Structure formats: C-alpha cells, structure tokens
Structure 1
C-alpha cells in the first residue's frame, strides 16, 4: 500500500526570522532545534556509556515509549521512569514518547524541571496528591468558565476538569514550550506527546493522522524520507493562521489541557457520556449552586432550563425517551414571558417528534438550541460566563466535538493535500484510538531510533500495540522487526515480562507487558490486576493500590536491566 502524499515539498524547512510564515515548517525529518537538543543529549549519553568502560563507536538513540491506559498508565509510567533512573538507565535515553494516560505523568514531570533531578521525590509527591484529591468546586467552575470564553472550547476542556484533574489532583499551568531550555541542553530526554487528527482517521487516513507535540514544534509527523511533515511552532499551536500567515495570536494551551487532549480516552463513548452526565449532575446540584452563590430566582430558572437542555441532548445521544424531557422544558418555560418563542417551538417538537427520523430529531434540537440560546444567555449580567459554559457544553455534547484547534494549515498554498487545508479547525483526540503507543513518532526515518523500550500499560491484549505497529509499518514501508502473531497470541493471557524483536537494519524493540508471569505469578493474579486497575475506573486508588502498581512497573525495569544494558552496549560498540 502506497503512502498517500501528505504535503508538497516545495517550501523551505525554515523561513527567515522576519518572514510572517516563519511559524510554519514543511520539512522531512526533525527540526534544527531538535537536532541540537539530541546532539547535546548524545554528549551526555556518550559520557555515561564511557563511564561503563565501553569502546563507544556510536551513541545509540534509545526511545522510551509509554502507552495509554488512564490513571493506571500514569502511575505505571512514573514507576518505569523512577526505576530507569534508579538503575542508571535513564541517562542513556534520548526520547520519551507518550500516549494517552502516560502523558499525564509526563506532563507533571516536564512541568517542573526539578522533578527530573529527583524522580523518587517526584514519585512521593505524586502519591501524596493522589491521596489528597482535587481542590474545591470553585476552582473547577472558574476554570471551565474561562475555557468556555475561548472560541475553540470543546468537550476536551470539560474532560480536563471533570476527569483528568479529579484523577491526578493537579493543575499544570506551565506550557510545553517552557521545556525548551532544559530539553535543548539535553539535561532531560526529549519529550514527544502524541495525538491524532480525528478527521483523517475517520476517513481512512490513519497513517497520516499522527500529530505530535514537542517543546519546539507541533504538527503532522514526517512519514518517510520523501514525504515531509507539516509543523507549527509549539508556542503558536492553536493560533489562527490563513495562507501561512499568523492572523490572530492565541496563548499556548498549558500542560493540563495537553493532558486532556492526549488522554481523552474516547474508545468507549458510552462510558465517557455517562461520566460527563455524572459531572454535569454535580454542577447542576442545588448544593453546588449554593456554594457558587447562584441563588437569584431568575438565575435558578435559567439554570433549570439549561439543565433540562443538557438532559435533552444527553438523552438523545444515548437513544433515550426525549419526550419526557421536552414536557419538563415546556412546564418550566410556561408562564416565562422571555421564552414564548422557545415554548412554541417545544410544542411543535412534541407534536412531530414521534414521526421524525433520528436525523430530523437532531435538526429539531439544533434549531431549538439556536432559538433558545439568546434567551438563555441574556439576563443577569453577573453570571454570564457560567451560563455560557453550560450552553457551550450542551452544544459540544450534541455535536460530539473534542480537541478543537485552529488549523495552522488553513488555505496554506504549499500543501497539495487539500484535506489538510480546507478546514478552519481540526479536532485532535487520543492517539490510543489508533495505536496505544507512539511507535510512529520514533521509528526510522522520523527519529532514527536504535532501541525502543516499549512499556505497555494497555488493558486486554498486551501485544495489541506491537501487532498494530507491525501492520502500520508494512502499510507504510517503514523498517520494523518481524513479529510472530501466533506466538504472541499464545502468551496473551500469561505473558513474560520482556519480549525482544530484532532484525537486519531495524531498531531493536524491547516490549514489556505491565502485568506478567514474573511480577504477578499466576494467570489469575494477572486477571485480578486488570480488574483492579481498569482503564475506566474513576474512583480513587488507595495508597496501597498505588504502591502495588508502582512496584509492578518498576519490577519490569529492575528484572530486565541487564538485558537492556546488553542491547545498548551492543549498539554502542557496533561499527
């Protein structure tokens, strides 16, 4: 299968500093900034290897991949990085690339430079935060109201405050570009965060859909030596561009938003919808309203209407009975002079609902939301931001909009592929929907990795990521070692703690299933671990459970450190 042509290689890798389009880069391979960072990191890796007494012929590029898996992945990622540091392997690593839940841990570590200096201390702080839980509701509501003021507000913002913050108990106000100094000096592994473009994936373009965030650039990754990638300066990812020119600068989104964007876990829509409903019920609860001092009678009426509008959309999205909700809305609006037009529309909806198709019903709801929006959003001036947040959330739920981001390639003339340039907005979502590990972003020729340490925290098949990557690489003619699917299928329920895949002129892949026969023992214990640490578990882990998960992930490093050293040494001493 031929790789679809992504962009035309007709633009310079970097525009001049005075060029208005200098924020955009069309190029093959990594940026000059990343090359400098990798060079500086390589010098530190070289020093570490020479301290082992090696006759180093080359400095191997070692990439650590940490997979998705919700809070389970975040905790396990912390354990892996802590143990890599403890056994002296982290200073041999060039890249750390994460997907989904693991980016929650990565973001926390990279948000404060001193956390890399003492990963054991960072781990203890992480444990403490998980036990303390999140702050008060006012912080959450204020954050949501501020987010809803943006024109790119989406369910990703709601996910940030309703799930990610509640699970990690941490707001990260710093941004990925702030890591440039320490990553540029090579004092920490170079971070790569993975997402995918929902539109490209939905239209069968999964191989093109990978979108990366680094401290320097963000964008669509290089696929091979002839197909360049398209990138925007990370500081301007989310700003408005047209024809390659910056027309409206927007603040860079912080690490907390990046956590939500990369870790929105959209594989199970029913679970996500239910979680959103639970959170919104909490927001609408009278006790919450009282805490927020929303007690004015007119304000209460408006909030009740918004609550029923939310229930209407949720009920429609989950194929429930909407007529009851419409009757409730009719009851609330009856006698309210400001809602006479909306009330008339409700009566029409009730009369025609049973005779309408699902598409027609959705159109009726959209029309009703438009007719009622000004009536709902106008009124008392002291709480418009809260009502704006509620109304925007209802719309985003109906349209199921996640990861809305201004398209930096909008009307960009150097791009042949018009699917990348025709839309003002793109929608970035959890890369775990494609491959639950960021293999495509570290494989040759993108980053010329020699050794991949793949720590897999996925639920279910512990080899799904390795098998999916092999298929991805075959489709794109990308070098990857051979994989025996039948052998892996036999081991799936009771895997070993390390599998090594290698071949000629391909990177060595060392794959570590999280729960295995070495750190868990029996197949029954492995099953129990998966049950305890479910991806969609939203209740708090006890400290005992956190410590057990940290230990399991650390054991996979500790028990195989010699094998990892052997592969690094072999690549370092190879001519």
Structure 2
C-alpha cells in the first residue's frame, strides 16, 4: 500500500526537481525514500518473516509478505517492563519473527535500546529478560559515574537538561550507563534476526503549532539515519549532533552515547524535585555543571543540538533553514505512540499491533492519531464505531479500514481481562514517574503484559491470515 503525506508546495516542488540522495553520509539526504541501510535490513528480515509465517501455517509468496509493526507507547519504567513482557510472550508464541518493525516512544525506547545491545536479542530474549529484571530491581548506580558524565557533557555548547536527565536519572532508572552509539546497533538490525528498530522524538518548536499535528513535528531515529520523517530530510546516525551547513558536514560533533539518547527519547518533563536534590548534593564538586544546569532550567532547555538543515538548499520549512539548532524532546508529549513514523508511506505498513502502556485514558493515543491522520490526509481506520470505555477497557480492539490503510490492533495494558475489577488499583500501583519497582511488582507487571498477548494470539493470527489472503503482489 502507499500512504501519502502532503507536503508544502515549496517542498513538493523541491522534491520533484531534486532528490539529494547520496551515498556520501557526510551530506544531508533529501528524499522520501528509505535509507539504503533500512532497505537492505528489511529485505533480509523479510526472509525471516516469510519462514515464520510458513511455520505458523500461513503461506504467502516473497512479494506478499505483510509488513507487521509492533508499537510500544511511552510510560516510563512501566512501559519498559511491559514491552519486555510483551515481546517475550510474542516470542513464546512464535510470533516475534513475524514482526518487521519495532517502534517505540519514551519508556518503550528504553527497553528497545537495552535489547539491541545484543545482536541476536530476539533469539536470546528469555535470558535477557531475567538479566534485565535483575538489573532493574537492583540499586547500584554510581554517583561518581554520573558526575564524570556531567562534567564531560558540560563542555558542550549545547548542554541541556537532557544531559542532566540522562546522566542522573535515566542511568539510575536503568541501572546501566551505555556508552555505545545508536549506529553501533546496525549489526543487530541488518542480519534479519531482529525486527528493524525505529525510535521517536519530536521537535519542540513544531510541537507548539496546530496542536502538535504538523507532520514535521516528528523526528525519527534508526541505526542508519535520523531525521524529519515527513520532510524527507535525513543524516547518517553517526553524525547526529554534528554541525552542518548548506547540506554538508561542517564540523563533527561529540558522539552521542546511548544513555544520552535514552534521556532524549524518554525525557518527558523530568522530575524537578529529584533534579534539585541532586544539584544540592553535588554543588561543591561540580560547580560548572550546577551553574549550566540552572541556566538550562531557567529556560527549560531540553534536547538542544545542531540543526543539520541549517542553510540547507531545497529544504522547508523556512524556520529550519534559518536556525542553527533544534530542540528534540520526548515524543510522548505529542502522541504517546509513534504512529506517524510507521505510517510513513515507504514503510508500507499492513498491520499495526499497538501495545498501549499510557497512564490515564488508554485510548488517547489512537484518538490523537485519528485526528492527526484526518488533518493530514493520511489513511487510517475509523475508530468511532467502537465503544471505548477508558475506565473499563477490554484487552484487544481491532480497527479495520479499506485497502489504503493498515489494520490496527490496540491493546490497553491494564484491562478487565488481566486485572478484572482492579484496573484503577493497578494504575495507581505503577505510576509513570516511579523510578524503581520491587522485584515482585516487576514480575506482576510482566505477567499482565504477557496475558494481553497470550489471550489474543488467535485474533492476531486471524488478522495476519486475513491480510495475506487479500494481498496483491507488492513491488520492492
């Protein structure tokens, strides 16, 4: 299928006249095509998906393999644990290998980035689950490491609260400080063993416009490229944060480690009380860090980095051409699930399996997505026909449309199937801004997430079978 995202007239004309697609990764790539790395990775993954479906008794040809996406919403540590349990249950039921893309927001990106350290994580998922749960229930972070990281980060002219949040709190929550880069995850995404990962953020300035429904609000990260999805403007992931001008690399920036990225993807608003507590405890040792952090707090400066579209030819909108920096923040502040990224036309998404770990209304993400798609003329199933009781949700909702849009399966985390009449009790027990859960609570949360999969395996298989039986051959 082909989904079209409308462009401004100037940008549309630029795309017609020139597509700055280039193998030189030191240049900005202006093209709506997928990156060469993603194309090769998903082609390899398609072989795995085809084999998985055949083992499940679903027979299709190479050019009829459905593109299945698993979406994990935000929700802090709750989302990390719940997505882990979800993936484990998909694995146990032999469905994980049918997934082409894994896409996350905020807390779900924490889970993903931890997993992709292992280049064969989907094969080693059971042992990784035990290891991650053991780490999460451990309180062994080192304040010295946090201070060292902050001291180094404070030398950067674009130091922001994201650096502080990553070093002091994401590190503390995840109990590890990953100094690798996102580009280092290429091997884990290129062999076909694992789904292809997509991480979400949003542009802070664009988020202020049109209630956050501008397509150029969304910014995606993959192991190969980062950039503005709707604008078709990307740079190599290894150059994220570097200085560009006129579409060309001007000065290489300091490498952004995974811990920083986890802070950027999952920043939300941070915990100001805890932030100030850390500052007060560290003031004598890290005066410079404290001073810069306070400056950032006064202006609420998050995720500031060099803008690779500065003075870039053929690029729109104009504010991105004129400004030297951009600020990227938690995508959950827009839509707490990254539908806009997987609805990118070139990804040809057929089935979205959305696991919603949000607090509050478990249907807010799909409601916001429906509005976003309506305002931007993007095909999306109608959701008004189904009753959605936010106080007493069921465990699975299926939204279907015509052939122009994907089928969406929506799974609220806490529901009347896995929590019975204790939905509100579980919501209060697992708040978003909790930085630690005891081991018993982690196991309980994992079980609730698993049930949402195991109780609906038949429905998931039926949707895949329905898609395959109605397919016409695709061209790739």
Whether these two folds match at TM > 0.5 is: yes
Q: Which residue of 2 aligns with 1:568?
A: 464
8 Å CA contact 1:403–1:429 kept in 2: the answer is: yes
Which whole-Å CA distance do the structure 1 matches of 2:240 and 2:36 have between them?
18
Q: Which residue of 1 aligns with 2:413?
A: 514
One of 386, 392, 395 as aligned partner of 1:497: 395
One of 227, 230, 234 as aligned partner of 1:231: 234
Instruction: Please give the root-mean-square deviation of Cα atoms over the aligned residues, in Å.
Output: 1.8
8 Å CA contact 2:26–2:249 kept in 1: the answer is: no
8 Å CA contact 1:452–1:507 kept in 2: the answer is: yes
8 Å CA contact 1:71–1:535 kept in 2: the answer is: yes
Matches within 5 A, 1:152-301: 152-204=158-210, 206-222=214-230, 228-266=231-269, 272-284=271-283
Which whole-Å CA distance do the structure 2 matches of 1:212 and 1:137 have between them?
31
Unaligned runs of 5+ in 1: 223-227, 295-385
8 Å CA contact 2:186–2:223 kept in 1: the answer is: yes
1:554 aligns with 2:453: no
Which whole-Å CA distance do the structure 2 matches of 1:167 and 1:143 have between them?
16
Which whole-Å CA distance do the structure 1 matches of 2:10 and 2:360 have between them?
33
Q: Which residue of 2 aligns with 1:124?
A: 130
Q: 1:201 to 1:551 in 2, by over 3 A?
A: same
Which whole-Å CA distance do the structure 1 matches of 2:333 and 2:346 have between them?
21
Instruction: Answer with 122-131 or 564-573: which moved more.
Output: 564-573
Which whole-Å CA distance do the structure 2 matches of 1:252 and 1:476 have between them?
35
Q: CA deviation at 1:278?
A: 2.2
Q: Which residue of 1 aligns with 2:43?
A: 39
Q: 1:129 to 1:468 in 2, by over 3 A?
A: same
Q: CA deviation at 1:252?
A: 3.1
1:532 aligns with 2:432: no
Say which SS state the counterpart of residue 129 (structure 1) adopts.
helix
Q: 1:203 to 1:52 in 2, by over 3 A?
A: closer
TM-score by length of 2: 0.92
8 Å CA contact 2:119–2:189 kept in 1: the answer is: no
Q: CA deviation at 1:528?
A: 0.8
Q: Which residue of 1 aligns with 2:78?
A: 72
1:83 aligns with 2:89: yes
Which whole-Å CA distance do the structure 2 matches of 1:155 and 1:6 have between them?
35
Say which SS state the counterpart of residue 495 (structure 1) adopts.
coil
Q: CA deviation at 1:476?
A: 0.8
Q: 1:485 to 1:157 in 2, by over 3 A?
A: farther
CA deviation map 1:146-198 (0-9, x unaligned)? 11111221000111122211111111111111122231222110000000000
Instruction: Answer with 120-129 or 275-284: which moved more.
Output: 275-284
8 Å CA contact 1:199–1:427 kept in 2: the answer is: yes
Q: Which residue of 2 aligns with 1:312?
A: none
Q: CA deviation at 1:114?
A: 4.1
8 Å CA contact 2:69–2:100 kept in 1: the answer is: yes
User: Rg: which structure is higher?
Assistant: 1
Q: CA deviation at 1:484?
A: 1.4
Which whole-Å CA distance do the structure 1 matches of 2:271 and 2:301 have between them?
13
8 Å CA contact 1:409–1:420 kept in 2: the answer is: yes
Greater fraction helix? 1
Which whole-Å CA distance do the structure 2 matches of 1:233 and 1:5 have between them?
27
Which whole-Å CA distance do the structure 2 matches of 1:16 and 1:442 have between them?
24
Q: Which residue of 1 aligns with 2:474?
A: none
Matches within 5 A, 1:416-431: 416-431=316-331
One of 86, 109, 134 as aligned partner of 2:115: 109
Q: 1:139 to 1:229 in 2, by over 3 A?
A: same
Say which SS state the counterpart of residue 104 (structure 1) adopts.
helix
8 Å CA contact 1:74–1:104 kept in 2: the answer is: yes
1:414 aligns with 2:314: yes
8 Å CA contact 1:480–1:507 kept in 2: the answer is: yes
Which whole-Å CA distance do the structure 2 matches of 1:131 and 1:275 have between them?
19
Q: CA deviation at 1:453?
A: 0.4
Say which SS state the counterpart of residue 28 (structure 1) adopts.
coil
Say which SS state the counterpart of residue 121 (structure 2) adopts.
helix
8 Å CA contact 1:14–1:22 kept in 2: the answer is: no
Which whole-Å CA distance do the structure 2 matches of 1:214 and 1:152 have between them?
22
Which whole-Å CA distance do the structure 1 matches of 2:7 and 2:165 have between them?
34
Unaligned runs of 5+ in 2: 472-476
Q: Which residue of 1 aligns with 2:290?
A: 390
Q: CA deviation at 1:4?
A: 4.1
One of 54, 62, 83 as aligned partner of 1:50: 54
Q: CA deviation at 1:430?
A: 0.4
8 Å CA contact 1:235–1:251 kept in 2: the answer is: no
Q: CA deviation at 1:33?
A: 2.0
Q: 1:16 to 1:437 in 2, by over 3 A?
A: closer
Q: 1:424 to 1:123 in 2, by over 3 A?
A: same
8 Å CA contact 1:131–1:543 kept in 2: the answer is: yes
Say which SS state the counterpart of residue 178 (structure 1) adopts.
helix
Say which SS state the counterpart of residue 355 (structure 2) adopts.
strand
Matches within 5 A, 1:409-488: 409-484=309-384, 487-488=387-388
Q: 1:5 to 1:148 in 2, by over 3 A?
A: farther
Q: CA deviation at 1:6?
A: 7.6
TM-score by length of 1: 0.77
